[in-house]
Amino acid sequence: MKKVVEILQGGGVGVLATDTIYGIVGSALKKSAVLRIYKLRKRNLKKPMIILIGSLDDLNLFGVRLDAKTKKLLSEFWPGKVSVILPCRSKKFSYLHRGTKTLAFRLPKLKWLRVVLEKTGPLVAPSANWEGAKPSRTVKEAKKYFGNKIDFYMSRGALNSKPSTLIKIEGNKVKLLRN
């Protein structure tokens, strides 16, 4: 675990099990890691990626300010398998929001993953596959996509979950985008 944290802190990229499916991860605060993941995944450059956070305080790093109603709504979903789209208007993070001026965040339920995130900071974590292809259920499947082009693989066995639910909070309403 220590080596994985060091690699991610240094701007490296790897595959690990999230609370939903295997993700290809890198520091959300390092533009070079984010751009590397776009290239590795063959991802549409207009599509933002989900960002895993270790605590609500991590939202401050992105200039995301929460009103009391939004905080209350988030407490119903987090920690858990729900990714929430929130406003992020900062030009500093245009490499993340790709012009949408929003970012999707998830506070995972898995304690070990939150411990990693507390040490590495927020991580972009799209599914470990090429865009449009089937998400990896195992490290072996992820290696078929990325081979030796990434810095580490961390196995937690086969995962039979589905991607996170994706919602957007608009005012007092929750809009379901992916279930």
**CB under 8 Å to 6, separation ≥6 — which residues?**
none
| Amino acid letter, 96 | L
pLDDT of residue 43: 93
pLDDT of residue 162: 83
Under DSSP, the state recorded for 134 is: P
Q: Computed over its alpha carbons, how large is the radius of gyration of the chain?
A: 15
pLDDT of residue 161: 82
Instruction: State how far the alpha carbon of 108 is from the alpha carbons of 64, 96, 143, 178, in Å.
Output: 18, 20, 24, 17
pLDDT of residue 164: 87
Residue 88, token pair as written in the block: 């992020």
Q: SS3 of 19, please?
A: coil
| Number of neighbouring beta carbons within 10 Å of residue 80 | 15
Question: What is the domain extent for residue 158?
Answer: 2-178
**CB under 8 Å to 106, separation ≥6 — which residues?**
19, 50, 51, 52, 53, 78, 81, 82, 83, 84, 125, 164
**CB under 8 Å to 29, separation ≥6 — which residues?**
61, 121, 122
Q: CATH number for the domain including 54?
A: 3.90.870.10
Provide the number of structural domains found in the chain.
1
The stretches in the chain having pLDDT less than 50 are: none
Q: For the whole model, what pTM was predicted?
A: 0.94
